Amino acid sequence: MTAAPAKAQTRSPSRADALARVAAALVESGVEAAQAQEESRLLLRAAAGLTRLELTMSPDAPLTDEQSQRLSSYAARRAAREPVSRILGARGFWTLDLAVAPNVLDPRPDTETLVETTLALIENRDAPFSILDLGAGSGAILCALLSEMPGAFGVAVDLSPDACAATRANLTRCGLNARAQVVRGRWGAALNGPFDVIVSNPPYIRAGDLATLDPEVRLHDPALALDGGADGLACYRDIVADLGRLLAPDGLVAFEVGFDQAASVAALLGASGFAVARIARDAGGHQRVVAARPVQPRS
């Protein structure tokens, strides 16, 4: 009697082996090494439904076939330079967990500087302020402000129907939809003021620079959310031109700006009757936010 051939053993990889494999693939595709390490952990945890602690405590446990396949699919998408937040469909912003929708700008950590600066310049966060968010995208800024200002009401405007739907979804996700309205339109054209607070992170990339952006941005964020015209300032000009009509005389306007645009945006505001209240830097040290108030008429 001849012995039956040994059955080929296909052992599932351990969590640690899978992590090393995914990190190597991401580095190979152009992701920076430290970022690849961090992102491979995030993708593995999502694919296997693991907490940070579970992954740290049991790195040698094997992945199931299903987890392994899911991780491979996530890794292939990330290697094609899709951002992790889009693969997982969510990202943390401020204290919130927001959904990230296709064809809508993925909110960035830098934009938390706009939230922080706005809140720092508001004396009474419990006041029944009206807030206008121009170019709301995912609704990140408005959701963050409303979450910190329990008496406030917000209006979000965006030209993109996908962005309006994303803002509505995130307001609901954060339990804030009773205190907000979403309007599809061109900046403030369809609205009447006055608003106590106007915030905006408009598109500010120079048109000529769009082709040079990282693939994560160029291939996944919509052009409508990025293109700021020839000098990057076109949207600020449009918005500032309407501020006198939309902002309360004692109101506050705060813009996110490109890393080299603070002086230009401050000059635009100055020429239209607004005095700069603060220019704030982001975590990377760039001037990221310009906040201003209407110049008070002398009595």
Ligand X SMILES: C[S@@+](CC[C@H](N)C(=O)[O-])C[C@H]1O[C@@H](n2cnc3c(N)ncnc32)[C@H](O)[C@@H]1O
Interacting residues toward ligand X by CB under 6 A = 105, 107, 111, 135-138, 140-141, 157-160, 163, 186-187, 201-203, 224-225
For residue 111, the minimal CB distance to ligand X (Å) is 4
Q: 270 with 102: CB under 8 angstroms?
A: no
Given the complex with ligand X, which of 13 and 229 has the nearer CB atom?
229
Closer by beta carbon to ligand X, 22 or else 225: 225
| Choice between 21 and 286, CB closer to ligand X | 286
Q: Nearest distance from residue 266's CB to ligand X, in Å?
A: 19
CB of 234 to ligand X, least distance (A): 9
Q: Smallest distance from the beta carbon of 294 to ligand X, in angstroms?
A: 22
CB nearer to ligand X: pick between 202 and 232 = 202
Kindly state the smallest distance separating residue 277's Cβ from ligand X, in Å.
20
CA distances 229 to 127, 203, 234, Å, are 37, 9, 5
What HEC string does 69-117 produce?
Answer: HHHHHHHHHHHCCCCHHHHHCEEEECCEEEECCCCCCCCCHHHHHHHHH
Cβ atoms of 236 and 266 within 8 Å: the answer is: no
Q: In what helix (H) or strand (E) does residue 161 lie, and over which residues does it extend? A: helix 161-173
Q: Residue 31 or residue 166: which is nearer to ligand X going by CB?
A: 166
Residue 36 C-beta: closest distance to ligand X, Å:
25
Extended beta strands in the chain, E state: 90-93, 96-99, 130-134, 153-158, 180-184, 195-200, 247-256, 274-281, 287-294
In angstroms, what is the minimal distance from the CB of 59 to ligand X? 35
Output the CA angle 163-85-158, nearest 5 degrees: 10
Residue 59, SS3 per DSSP: coil
Question: Would you say 105 and 137 are in contact if contact means Cβ atoms under 8 Å apart?
Answer: yes
Are the C-beta atoms of 250 and 76 separated by less than 8 Å?
A: no
Query: Residue 54 phi/psi, 5° resolution?
Result: -60, -40
- We find the least distance from the C-beta atom of residue 107 to ligand X, in angstroms, to be 4
Nearer to ligand X, 154 or 203 (CB): 203
CB closer to ligand X out of 114 and 122 = 114
Distance CA 32, CA 140 (A): 27
| 284's tokens | 């990377």
Q: What letter represents residue 18's amino acid? A: A
Q: Whose Cβ is closer to ligand X: residue 97's or residue 250's?
A: 97
Is 7 exposed, middle or buried, given 0-12, 13-18 or 19+ CB atoms closer than 10 A? exposed
